[in-house]
Amino acid sequence: MDNKINGILCKLQDGAIDVNTTIKEIESIQYDVEIKEKSKKRARKLKIFINSIDSKDGKNFKINLPGLPFWFLKSFCVPIIKLAVKHNKDKVKGFKIDDVKHINHIFDALGQMPPFEIVSVDSKDAKVHIYTK
């Protein structure tokens, strides 16, 4: 395939054919490549895991939330965030309640991607992992 294209470009360079003929010949090349679309596993949930050890008394504090589906986050969390922003006494400059609706786009984008780790922090006294599943 590359040899065919190189041959056509050499003919063009030598002046044997013109640009329009070159374009037609390159477009007419049949590619013998099978396109196999792999079924990509898409992320469906957001998983949060937090493990912290209190330095004063040595108690272990764990939060291991079950995977929260994106539809749940879009349906319930966005209205709660809007409500919190609306009733917040300390108004954030330049932030509007209508900006919260764009969070739906973030969850839509995360749902189109394969599962990956968003945040991963490991230290001697704390572990935080937020990932899509």
For residue range 26-71, what is the model confidence (pLDDT) as tens digits? 888 776 555 555 556 889 999 999 998 877 787 888 999 899 999 9
Q: Are 38 and 111 within 8 A, CB to CB?
A: no
Q: What is the pTM of this model?
A: 0.57
- Residue 29 confidence (pLDDT): 78
pLDDT of residue 32: 57
Q: Give 3's Cβ-side CA count (13 Å radius).
A: 0
Is the pLDDT score of 7 beyond 70? yes
Of the pLDDT bands very low, low, confident and very high (cuts 50, 70, 90), residue 18 is confident
**CB-based contact 127:49 (threshold 8 Å):** yes
* pLDDT, mean of residues 68-81: 86
Contacts of residue 82, Cβ cutoff 8 Å, sequence gap at least 6? 97, 100
